[in-house]
Amino acid sequence: MKVGLVQLNATIGDFPGNAKRLLAAYRECLENGADIVVAPELALVGYPPRDLVFKSRFVPSCLQALDYLAGEIGEVPLLVGYVDHHPHEKAGKWFRNGAAFLQHGEVREKRWKTLLPTYDVFDERRYFEPADHCEPIEWNGKKLGVTICEDIWTDDYLDRPFYEREPVTELVDAGAEIIFNLSASPFHLGKPAQRDEMLGKVAKEAGVPVIYCNCVGANDQLVFDGNSRVLSPNGSVIASLPGFEEAVAVVDAVSGGVLADPMEDCEQLWRALVLGVRDYVQKTGFNSVCLGLSGGIDSALTAAVACEAIGADKVHGLTMPSPYSSGGSVSDSFALANNLGMRCDEVGISGILGEVQSAMAPLFEGMEEDVTEENMQARIRGLLLMSLSNKFNHLLLTTGNKSELAVGYCTIYGDMCGGLAVISDLPKTRVYDVCRWLNREREVIPWNTIEKPPSAELRPDQKDQDTLPEYAVLDGILQAYVELHESTDEIVARGYDETLVRWVQRRVDLNEWKRQQAAPGIRVTSKAFGMGRRMPIVQRFQG
């Protein structure tokens, strides 16, 4: 059996556009001899549609697009993900996450997603009713087992099984000779390897080939990495599509096909960030971006990602020295812009800062200068950047990293101004790793930017480590507390100082209010601040 894998980048709610692209990919598979073609979960819809499904015309528009698509399908079937109504006369949710089997100009069969995740970034039980049974589709003398994403994630990969049912087992018991999985599995570092391990185990235990078709692209905070696979009954990968890019391929379910090259961690992070920025900018209708350049490593990496994503000619940098800025902050900013081929302008803020300080002086009389005056500088810069954004219709990118955002080492309405927080899920130590990887062949990020001590430059001779612990230590504590949910005692048992651990935990908890007002960020770790982490602002639990 030759299977066409359609690894496409869908836009949420663009039913005509998604249908046309699916049809073009389907026809490409026909030209390459496909016997059957498979597309990802909700490929006609875009994932995740979230509360759009409640809009009165959303699901009918999807079904209209499905009918159009079906009318163009001939002898070779197309298996595609979509959203459907759940009959009103039945109890349960109003909608279903479905897979449609299209052939001979019609929707021949429908199958529903059985396991609906409600954890991390997923909230499918809010919308969908699960399938009450699993039944293969009979086609061409074969029985095809159709599953949708979570339906194959039944292994004890999170220390405990989430579900009592196992759709793959049910399908194989009903005679399924091959398992198809239509997927919308979002990326985080380590996920592709975890996914391969899971898929191999599923194929081996079921004793049948597994065809895994994952979507690619970015929608809001989520990046989907593709990496579609074909696995033999012994659990080995015999064909694979590349990560982080659209791809259409026809592969043999028995003998396999081309294997995509593996990627190291830094390349995965880089490509996820680039894809996240490209899709966010293009799908929201912007043509260009702007950002502040401080001469530091965070803004440098953000600029490099943006230039790769949309082209250096569409990236506008602004360096805004204050009385406390080093000469290097300006020169390194222009060196970066020269390396990347992007525009950079300079607007000093010393005069503006003096005016603001003079205006507030009567109210602050007799009081020492403190973080208030530091934050004035960040907020002046935010004002200038937002003005640049408004005037030229640039999307403003924020440049803070995950380590800073976690402990509140950022200024609300200042350096947090913007529409997309590009590296807000990238810990500072990873920022350094990716920048060094980026410079592996030539200098992209100025080496001086990488090697100099990080500083906010909001007071004389300021260094980040005046306020924060060494980033390697901070990131280790943050990973344990934020991503692994460990307690004080568990983190201390890893070898960290208890006083420092409690200080970091307290800073994370106290700054929840800032993060809930922050720009959306691109998720690249297993637990990002944003839609996958729901913490109350007002709470007193310490542990």
Vertex 119: Cα angle to 117 and 125 (nearest 5): 45
346 is catalytic: no
Q: Is 399 annotated as a binding residue?
A: yes
- Residue 299 assigned as binding residue: yes
Determine if residue 476 is labeled as part of a ligand binding site. Answer: no
Annotated binding residue 119: yes
Active-site residue flag, 110: no
CA–CA separation, 497 vs 298, rounded Å? 27
Give the phi and the psi of residue 296 in degrees, each rounded to 5.
-95, 175
403 is in an annotated binding site: no
298 is in an annotated binding site: yes
User: Residue 229 in 3-state DSSP?
Assistant: strand
Is 236 among the annotated ligand-binding positions?
no
CB 49 within 8 A of CB 82: no
- 338 in a known ligand binding site: no
Q: Which of 62, 134, 149, 344 is catalytic?
A: 149
Q: Is residue 368 annotated as a catalytic residue, yes or no?
A: no
Estimate to the nearest angstrom the gap between the alpha carbon of 99 and the chain centroid.
24
Q: Which residues of 8-22 are buried (b: 16+ CB within 10 A; e: fewer)?
A: bbbbbebbeebbebb
Whether the link from the prior residue into 87 is cis, omega within 30° of 0, is: no
CA distances from 357 to 207, 349, 360, 373, 449 (A): 73, 12, 5, 8, 30
Query: Known binder of ligand: residue 384?
Result: no
Q: Which of 62, 109, 113, 166 is catalytic?
A: 113
Q: Which among 2, 29, 41, 428 is annotated as catalytic?
A: 41
Cα(151)–Cα(133) distance, integer angstroms: 12
In the β-sheet with 247-252, what is the strand arrangement from edge to edge? 106-112, 95-103, 78-85, 36-38, 2-7, 247-252
Q: What is the enclosing helix (H) or strand (E) of 106?
A: strand 106-112
Residues tagged in the binding site annotation for L-glutamine? 119, 185, 191
Residues tagged in the binding site annotation for ATP? 292-299, 399
Residues tagged in the binding site annotation? 119, 185, 191, 292-299, 375, 399, 404, 514
Q: Tell me the catalytic residues.
A: 41, 113, 149
